Amino acid sequence: MENEGRGLHMKVLESLGPAIAAGAYPAGTVLRTDELEERFEVSRTVVREAVRVLESMQLVESRRRVGVTVRPAERWNVFDPYVIRWRLAGADRPRQLRSLTELRSAIEPAAAALAARFATPAQCAALTEHALGMVSTSRGRQLAAYLVHDIAFHRQILTASGNEMFARLGDVVAEVLSGRTHHHVMFPDPDPPAVTLHVRVAEAIREGDAVAAERLTREITVGAMAELEVLAPESGQPAGRG
Amino acid sequence: MENEGRGLHMKVLESLGPAIAAGAYPAGTVLRTDELEERFEVSRTVVREAVRVLESMQLVESRRRVGVTVRPAERWNVFDPYVIRWRLAGADRPRQLRSLTELRSAIEPAAAALAARFATPAQCAALTEHALGMVSTSRGRQLAAYLVHDIAFHRQILTASGNEMFARLGDVVAEVLSGRTHHHVMFPDPDPPAVTLHVRVAEAIREGDAVAAERLTREITVGAMAELEVLAPESGQPAGRG
DNA sequence: CCAAACCTATAGGTAGTACTTAATCAAGCC
DNA sequence: GGCTTGATTAAGTACTACCTATAGGTTTGG
């Protein structure tokens, strides 16, 4: 993510947004504009622009005679990249990570199936290239290089699906994958079986085998779910039956 | 959707947003602030607030000395509810509808599986209620009442999944379902097999059978995909191999 | 006890002004 | 001739002051 600090309203946004997303202001909290003006030492114009953006993310609601009210988390636009990043950076990172992994598990197999039908030869080539890149960097503690290929691989599948909504999840997947790598930093090389799966997915897509592509991709994502289960076992879920 | 016209900047937004989303302004088009000021007969403040929101949706980019530039569609936040609605209302409604249906097909089965594990008794009860409501309204041209139950049913599954991102897709699913009903308005009653599927999904979730819940829900969504295929056969996809 | 009128806090909106950045282009240097 | 450097200047950015509109609260009257 490259966009930082462009414009004063961004400064306010990058400060208020994460705070709200982290739950620092419980739902119902009211923030008056002149208070924010003072707090951030900016003019009303700037505050209002920031508030408008937060409002479009459904993080807050601005009403006359009341102020800027923080909305309950259920209303937030949890698909907004900013909101995702802010939540990922804040208190409920585990829950957000689980949600995103569940999302991946749902989307990526479907995307792979579509990619098997619609991927262009160029896209197939790129996919294979990244899969082979993963293989060649999977040994000898080249985690950084491995990660690059891993991200590119998954992003390529999402793009090749031809579904622009799937494609837009590339950034999210990238963030999850890189977050995972950076989390248990001093880890050994990735599992060989997982690497092999990627190669086989690339093959299936190249051959136009949607069923195989979907099944193999699902194997990858259940692996990701299992991995998550180790880090945050059964947490973040509502209190249902077990 | 209830929020209309609140604030002058909304007026601008509700006019510019759909236009951009419909492709009226090709990527790279520049809109100057003072031009917009004049066009909408509002002050700079208002224009800038609207632009800030469009910017947060990645529909436009505001740069000094250049103006407000329309971004290519690949950059748009296609998960933003406003963007979804605007695209659904505009020229590429078919493509958007296909994307959303593919999204549903990926998410809803996964959500049903999670719901089978985590749904509370109250949620199971509500689910069954709506399934039965669908049954009882599936005959005698009560499409409106049927639609209400249908939407509530799918929304309930997404909510009961315990994944807040899935839950937020409830609005989208609602829009797709109601759009479908209102499209071929003078239609006969819904297919009995489809209705039965919903009842069986409710049962599977109540019994905590994640596998069955997922499989049955997938049957529903492939039905939706098939239905879409009739209305917009193979359109909106990139030119890959067949 | 309830309803209608009033009060006022707070966001909404406009206008004018000054600052800042960066695209452009021309002059000058290598 | 081509590249660097600097001036020009067009556009967004930001601040201020002032006014308006609305809606939550309070008072008042029935």
- Helix ranges (DSSP H) in chain A: 8-21, 33-40, 44-56, 81-89, 93-118, 121-136, 143-160, 164-168, 170-183, 192-206, 210-231
Tell if the CB–CB gap between A77 and B78 is shorter than 8 Å: no
Residue, of A21 and B191, whose pLDDT is higher: A21
Between CA A28 and CA A67 the distance in angstroms is 10
Is the per-residue pLDDT at A239 higher than 80? no
**Domain extent for A3:** 1-75
With beta carbons less than 8 A apart as the criterion, state whether B168 and A75 touch.
no
Q: Is residue B64 part of a domain?
A: yes
Do B150 and B85 share a structural domain? yes
Do A68 and A85 share a structural domain? no
Q: What is the pLDDT of residue A20?
A: 98
Confidence at A236, pLDDT banded by 50, 70, 90: very low
pLDDT average, residue stretch A146-159: 97
**Per the structure block, which two tokens stand in for B149?**
């139950």
Considering only CA atoms, which of B173, B187, B182, B180 is closest in space to residue B217? B173
Token pair 């669908």: residue: B134
Sign of CA dihedral B136, B138, B139, B141: positive
Q: What is the pLDDT of residue A4?
A: 63
Q: Which residues of A touch B168 (CB under 8 A)?
A: 76-79
pLDDT average, residue stretch B82-100: 94
Q: What is the pLDDT of residue B183?
A: 74
Between CA A120 and CA A107 the distance in angstroms is 20
Do B62 and B103 share a structural domain? no
Least confident of A128-132, A234-238, B42-46, B48-52: A234-238
Q: Is residue B50 part of a domain?
A: yes
Do B99 and B66 share a structural domain? no
Do A134 and A23 share a structural domain? no
Measured between CA atoms, how close is B99 to chain A, in angstroms?
6
- What's the pLDDT tens digit per position in A40-69? 999 999 999 999 999 999 999 999 999 999
Distance B40 CA to D20 C1' (A): 19
The percentage of residues in chain A with a pLDDT greater than 90, rounded to a whole number, is 81
pLDDT average, residue stretch A87-96: 92
The secondary element (H helix, E strand) that includes residue B21 is helix B8-21
In this structure, what CATH number is given to the domain that contains residue B179? 1.20.120.530
Token pair 């016209």: residue: B5
- Average model confidence (pLDDT) across chain B: 92
Kindly list the strands in the beta sheet with A67-70, ordered across the sheet, starting from the edge strand earlier in the chain: A30-31, A67-70, A60-63
Do A226 and A149 share a structural domain? yes
**Per the structure block, which two tokens stand in for B172?**
């989208």
Do B109 and B58 share a structural domain? no
DSSP-derived secondary structure letter, A75: G
Q: Is residue B19 part of a domain?
A: yes
pLDDT average, residue stretch B92-99: 93
Q: Is B187 exposed, middle or buried (0-12, 13-18, 19+ CB in 10 A)?
A: exposed
With beta carbons less than 8 A apart as the criterion, state whether A139 and A169 touch.
no
Do A63 and A102 share a structural domain? no
In chain A, how long is the greatest CA-to-CA distance? 63
Q: How far apart are the first and last CA of chain B?
A: 38
Q: What is the pLDDT of residue B234?
A: 62
pTM, entire model:
0.93
Do A117 and A216 share a structural domain? yes
Residues in chain A: 242
Least confident of A214-218, B102-106, B127-131, B228-232: B228-232
Q: Is residue B188 part of a domain?
A: yes
Considering only CA atoms, which of B15, B78, B63, B152 is closest in space to residue A167? B78
Compare CB distances from A52 to B9, B76, B163 and report the shortest one's residue.
B9
**Boundary (domain end) residue, out of B75, B104, B136:** B75
Is the per-residue pLDDT at A209 higher than 70? yes
**Boundary (domain end) residue, out of B26, B54, B75:** B75
Tell if the CB–CB gap between B240 and A119 is shorter than 8 Å: yes
pLDDT average, residue stretch A5-29: 95
Coil, helix or strand at residue A31:
strand
Between CA A217 and CA A109 the distance in angstroms is 5
**Boundary (domain end) residue, out of A31, A48, A75:** A75
Do A201 and A98 share a structural domain? yes
Best of B165, B176, B211, B215 to disrupt the A interface (most A CBs within 10 Å) is: B165
Is the per-residue pLDDT at B57 higher than 70? yes
With beta carbons less than 8 A apart as the criterion, state whether A188 and A99 touch.
no
Q: Which residues of A touch B241 (CB under 8 A)?
A: 117-118, 208
Confidence at B189, pLDDT banded by 50, 70, 90: confident
Side chain identity at residue A231, one-letter code: L
- What's the pLDDT tens digit per position in B125-135? 999 999 999 99
Do A16 and A104 share a structural domain? no
Q: How many domains does chain A divide into?
A: 2
pLDDT average, residue stretch B180-204: 84
Distance B64 CA to C26 C1' (A): 22
Q: What is the pLDDT of residue B4?
A: 64
Confidence at A216, pLDDT banded by 50, 70, 90: very high
Confidence at A187, pLDDT banded by 50, 70, 90: low
Instruction: Give the CA count within 13 Å in the CB-facing half-sphere of A2.
Output: 0
Q: Is residue A237 part of a domain?
A: no
Considering only CA atoms, which of A67, A60, A65 is closest in space to residue A35? A67
Confidence at B240, pLDDT banded by 50, 70, 90: very low
Q: Does A79 touch chain B (CB under 8 A)?
A: yes
In this structure, what CATH number is given to the domain that contains residue B1? 1.10.10.10
Do A201 and A130 share a structural domain? yes
Residue window 191-210, chain A: list those with CB within 8 Å of chain B: 208
Between CA B82 and CA B77 the distance in angstroms is 10
CB contacts < 8 A, A to B, total: 127
Q: What is the pLDDT of residue B209?
A: 98
